[in-house]
Chain A
Amino acid sequence: MAQSGNHIIAKPSQEHDHGHGKEGHHDLESLRMMGFWIFLITDCILFGTLFATYVVLNGNTAGGPTPAELFEMPGVIAETFILLTSSFTSGLAVLSMNRGDRKGLIRWLLVTVLLGASFIALEVTEFMTLVHEGASISTSAQWSAFYVLVGTHGLHVTIGLVWMIAIMIQLKQHGINSVTRRKVNIISLYWHFLDVIWIFVFTIVYMMGVM
């Protein structure tokens, strides 16, 4: 009885509070982060498959328009730099969070969301122009593969936007705690990952398409 009482008193003592509790918590957190890495890798495999499909079907235009005829690089270059910048600003959001600066965190997340939204706006405009110029998803294997690959990336970005807005609302309500901290870390990982995928879309689909 006395022992257990002692134990209870001992628990919140500096050493235990400092070490044990936090360590167990940390293990669980890094396990959750690893879970998200595994998700990212499955996403990586999904995009790898779509890239393989695109490369294999590339050039099968069935007499329709070719990418080199229709791609307009200025818009695509703008999209690329917008996404690169948004990857950077999502990193700045994490830095604000690590300083405990909630306002800064929400502000940088907002900048990231706005950049992401303008990326999507540019992409939708591009798709509409392409369809207008006679390259829809059913035009040829070339364009089917194009819309599936680029569209899947766009869908990921859109989901990321909704997700990021949801986290901003949670940050407004609950502030920075261990749960919202993890969520911000994960969304920023997700966002960097989408930037990586876009770099390959930019290189393989657009740059090699117009070369």
Chain B
Amino acid sequence: MAQHSVDTHDSHGEHEHHESHGSLKSYVIGFVMSLVLTAIPLIVVMNDLLEGKAATVLLLASAVLQFVVQLFYFMHLKEEGKPRYNLMVLLLGLIIVLTIVAGSIWIMTYNKVA
């Protein structure tokens, strides 16, 4: 009984944590970061500060960073409960997406008949 009581108490604590997820601070940080991550590539590319490969890398890097910011600061992926099923589902999805996108680009780049 005592054991049981401790158990439920623990999970209640986790529940509280889950309930209160996201503070104003974390949302503001996320928002500011996403604004900056949108502004940097815009300024760089629109003013032609970078070109070609470097610009592409910068653009993709800031988009991916933006994705990570949204996941952690807005979608609270980090505050998920113990068995991190949402994270696992997300990783599986990303593997499938990367396979589709990278695979399509690769196969269509090298399929030209010489």
A binds B: yes
CB distance from A192 to the nearest CB of B (A): 4
**In the complex, are the beta carbons of B31 and A23 less than 8 A apart?**
no
- Chain B residues with CB below 8 A from A45, complex form: 93, 96-97, 100
Number of interface residues of B (CB under 8 A): 54
Segment with Cβ contacts to B, from A26-34, A119-127, A130-138, A159-167? A26-34
Q: Name A's interface SS.
A: helix
CB distance from B2 to the nearest CB of A (A): 11
**In the complex, are the beta carbons of B22 and A91 less than 8 A apart?**
yes
**In the complex, are the beta carbons of B67 and A196 less than 8 A apart?**
yes
Number of interface residues of A (CB under 8 A): 52
Contact with A along B72-107 (1 / 0, CB 8 A): 001100000100011001101110111011011100
CB distance from A27 to the nearest CB of B (A): 9
- Chain B residues with CB below 8 A from A56, complex form: 104-105, 108
CB distance from A122 to the nearest CB of B (A): 16
Q: What CA separation (Å) do A177 and B108 show in the bound complex? A: 51
**In the complex, are the beta carbons of A203 and B8 less than 8 A apart?**
no
Q: What CA separation (Å) do A101 and B34 show in the bound complex? A: 27
Which A132-190 residues sit within 8 Å CB-CB of chain B?
A: 188-189
Q: What CA separation (Å) do A195 and B35 show in the bound complex? A: 12
Tell whether A22 pairs with B81 under 8 Å between CB atoms, given A189-B75, A199-B38.
no
Which B1-26 residues sit within 8 Å CB-CB of chain A?
A: 4-5, 7-9, 11-12, 15, 18-20, 22-24
Q: What CA separation (Å) do A204 and B100 show in the bound complex? A: 16
Q: What CA separation (Å) do A171 and B19 show in the bound complex? A: 18
**In the complex, are the beta carbons of A26 and B89 less than 8 A apart?**
no
- From B56, B89, B100, B101, A37 is in contact (CB under 8 Å) with B89
Q: Which residues of A contact B (CB under 8 A)?
A: 15, 18-20, 22-23, 26, 30, 33-34, 37-38, 41-42, 44-45, 47-49, 51-53, 55-56, 73, 77, 80-81, 84-85, 87-88, 91-92, 94-95, 98, 188-189, 192-193, 195-196, 199-200, 202-204, 207-208, 210-211
